[in-house]
Structure 1
Amino acid sequence: MIMATAFVTPDPLAATLSRTSAALARPKAAQAGREDIAMIKAAASLTRDLHAARPIVYWTDLIASAGLGYAGMAVAIVATPVWAKLLGAVVAVLALYRALSFIHELSHMKPNAVRGFTAGWNILFGVPVMMPSLMYEGVHTLHHAKTRYGTNRDPEYMPLARGPAATLAIFVLVSALLPIGLILRYGVLAPLSLLSPKLREIVVTRYSALAINPQFRRKPPEGAALRSWRIWETAASIWAISFVVLTATGVFPLAASLTFLAIVSAIAVLNQVRTLVAHLWENEGDAMSITDQYLDSVNVPPPGLLAEIWAPVGLRYHALHHLLPGLPYHALPEAHRRLTGELGDGSSYHHANYSTLSGLIVNLVKACRKAVRG
């Protein structure tokens, strides 16, 4: 998934993340790139009736998340007691983080599956936070291409666990600079690039993707994608320039602007932590089978409740999403229930399930240390 630091975000080298809740060995069918055909067939057959997106769910969730988030931000800006400011900031971060997570749904959504949702998301969140959907659309789906996943052509993969553990901390901390990067991208580089075709090429190919592979270069958009790109890039640029000018002239109080930037920064850090445990990051560039791609990904299913906060909008079922990328987020819990009940303990399906965020992070750190020791 979803994004990382700024435009192209680094994800260091693959991770051995040992299983947390059930320390189960991988099924033999997956160890040599072979497919767990039974799991793949069951996933397809048991979920045929779950692929329709429900607009009422999408719109209600997005509007409620954005509304609660901006209300929390307002409290963080105007409240006098420190505790009220902090409470408002926490509410803003968590609610707007959930709103942000819908960018992942946008990248998979079929045209008009939820009419007007892309525009609505950009208006409610993408443009105000200077992170329009163009940063993810046309990029994230490459991560799901069977021949790209885990290779150097995957925009969202680098083998994290083959490097030192300190790299993981850098990976997370650098995401705090996201709001500065977005202001530079949309408030400075976007307008300047109109004057220089060479700069424009750099901005489009290198600074217009929420990716984690620094080698990734995106292709320029065409057709309808180009028209959409122009609309939302222009809107984000106008807002970025206005934000800087209004803050510099005192129309926006400096404290209010800094609070806004701090909340966006915290959202980016939270998302980066989630990205850190979205996969095991074990692959070092070779093409992988569908089963191995699934096993390199992470589910954090119920009964735990915290995962719904740090991995919202279906992201707690990230491995299942890699198995069924076209399934809308609200259908993933039911799909997981069906597959869990249908597939026995010997199935690969159960080997991508974990219990806690902390356990995943600890295992990732251990994997890095083991790799460094050789």
Structure 2
Amino acid sequence: MTKSLALKIDDAEPVTAPASARIKLSGVPDDRAMLRAAAELTRDLHTPNKRIYWTDMLVSAGIGYGAFAATILAPSWPLALVAGVVAVLALYRASLFIHELTHLKHSLLPNFRLGWNLLVGIPLLVPSFTYEGVHTLHHARTRYGTAEDPEYLPLAMMKPWTLPVFLLAAVLLPVAMLIRFAVLAPLSAVIPSLRRVVVAKYSGLKINPVFERRPPEGELKSQWFWQELGASIFSIALLTLVATGIVPLRDFGIYLAVIAGVAVINQVRTLVAHLWENDGEPLTVTAQYLDSVNVPTPGFMAYLWAPIGLRYHALHHLLPSLPYHALNEAHRRLSDALEEASSYHKANYPTLRGLMHRLAVSTMGAR
């Protein structure tokens, strides 16, 4: 990414493809040469580096919680504001390891899921069971972009008011999750009918309102149990401490604001992860790739709004199991090996701002 997001509005066009007309994605055939190159050129990149994962997660969480404490203790509001921004950005990075957890073979990173949930997932009210078993459906060959995809809505074809509503939902996330874990979880443990609703509707990080989750099975069932129990104990304890005055309302408000800030940044990133131009038809892998976004140009801002490899979201859809620290090298290899006419280059975009503008213009055209 370039040094600044403040570039020309028309930079929403792909880096190597000037055409802006919407493609009918359901008619796009697979680019066999691209798929073959993606598989062959990255065979040696699929092993996660334990040191990178643990160091990145621990340092991000440590900076985030340190900045959160500084926000509470700051002697003036300007200092509190600066510390709060640092807390949001660092905890945002730490929280995004939930995405890696959904694709990792956990045997290759022993105890990483446990450590992440204890340090990040439960305190931020997003234990990994809320994403594991949900996000992988978004990558399913026959589900992407359809009504059965929990993470897809045709936002580019929806009304302009859907974008602010989409962001408002992120602002309300911490309150909703506190209700989910402090109220609905214990009640649903003794009311079977409520439990069915909680599992189906309120147990997954999704954007598709009609998607309903199935009850967990196998290993996920036990993971779900202890993670939900931990999040419930944490939420009930926190609300009790606030109600009894042990935790001041001001500090509780800062906690909610930091989590909301993390959620809003992630929601903005989600808005530019895809072009959201599929009309509900099943797509080929290449069509899914073209409906997804890479923002490969390096720059400081890219590491803030799309950390943990998420600026290569289209590439991630080609190679979902590739560790985040290998995506940059994979992109370099594929960019060098594939000719300019390849579909691979058509999913590369220069900036966040241009993508947001493209989406906003598309929704305006849907009025």
CA contact (8 A) 1:20 1:359 kept: no
d(CA) in 2 for partners of 1:344, 1:353: 14
2:363 to 353, 363, 368: 368
d(CA) in 2 for partners of 1:114, 1:60: 13
Q: How many correspondences in the alignment?
A: 356
Secondary structure, aligned partner of 2:309? coil
Displacement of 1:20: 4.7
1:182 to 177, 181, 184: 177
d(CA) in 1 for partners of 2:162, 2:70: 36
d(CA) in 2 for partners of 1:189, 1:303: 43
The answer to whether 1:302 aligns with 2:294 is: no
Displacement of 1:23: 4.4
The answer to whether 1:155 aligns with 2:150 is: yes
**Aligned partner letter, 1:255:** R
Displacement of 1:30: 7.2
The answer to whether 1:47 aligns with 2:42 is: yes
d(CA) in 1 for partners of 2:298, 2:260: 30
**Corresponding residue for 1:227?**
222
Greater shift, 189-198 or 303-312, is seen at 303-312
Displacement of 1:194: 1.2
d(CA) in 2 for partners of 1:326, 1:167: 32
**Aligned partner letter, 1:173:** L
Displacement of 1:245: 0.5
**Aligned partner letter, 2:101:** L
Matches within 5 A, 1:125-204: 125-204=120-199
**Corresponding residue for 2:13?**
19
Displacement of 1:178: 0.3
Matches within 5 A, 1:44-123: 44-123=39-118
d(CA) in 1 for partners of 2:26, 2:211: 28
Once the two structures are superposed, residues 170-226 of structure 1 have per-residue CA deviations (whole angstroms, 9 ceiling, x without a partner) of 111221000000000000000001110000111111100001100111111122211
Displacement of 1:111: 2.5
Once the two structures are superposed, residues 9-33 of structure 1 have per-residue CA deviations (whole angstroms, 9 ceiling, x without a partner) of xxxxxxxx96254443499997822
2:308 to 309, 313, 338: 313
d(CA) in 1 for partners of 2:248, 2:342: 57
Fraction of identical pairs, as percent: 53
**Aligned partner letter, 1:252:** V
d(CA) in 2 for partners of 1:27, 1:349: 17
Give the superposed CA RMSD.
Answer: 1.7
Q: 1:28 to 1:267 in 2, by over 3 A?
A: closer
Matches within 5 A, 1:350-365: 350-365=345-360
d(CA) in 1 for partners of 2:83, 2:160: 33
Displacement of 1:328: 0.4
Unmatched 5+ stretches in structure 2: 1-10
Displacement of 1:164: 1.9
Q: 1:160 to 1:302 in 2, by over 3 A?
A: same
**Corresponding residue for 1:10?**
none
2:232 to 233, 237, 243: 237
**Corresponding residue for 1:337?**
332
